[in-house]
Amino acid sequence: MQNTKEFIQAQLKTLDNGFVATPETRDALEAFARSNNGSMDIILMQMAIQYGYRLALETVAETLGE
C-alpha cells in the first residue's frame, strides 16, 4: 500500500511541473475557459485532461486513507 501512496504523490507532483498548468480546482479551469474566448482550445483540452487525472489520483488517495 505504501508503494501505491508514493506513486500517487509522485504523479501529483508531475502535474505541477508540466508545460501546461494543471488547474487546482474546477473553478480555475472554468475561469480559464471563459477568459480564452475560444482560442487555445488545445491547451484548454490538456488542462481538462490533467485536471481529470488529478481528481482521479486524489480520489484513489482518499479511498486508500491518504
Residue 65 has pLDDT above 80, yes or no: yes
CA distance 50 to 28: 13
Express each pLDDT in 6-44 by its tens digit.
998 899 888 877 778 888 888 988 888 888 886 778 888
Angle at 29 between CA 46 and CA 9, to 5 degrees: 70
- Segments making up each domain of the chain, as ranges: 2-6+21-63
Phi/psi-derived region of residue 21, left when phi > 0, alpha when psi is between -120 and 50, beta in every other case: beta
Check residues 54 and 16 and name the one with the higher pLDDT. Answer: 54
Mean pLDDT of 49-54: 93
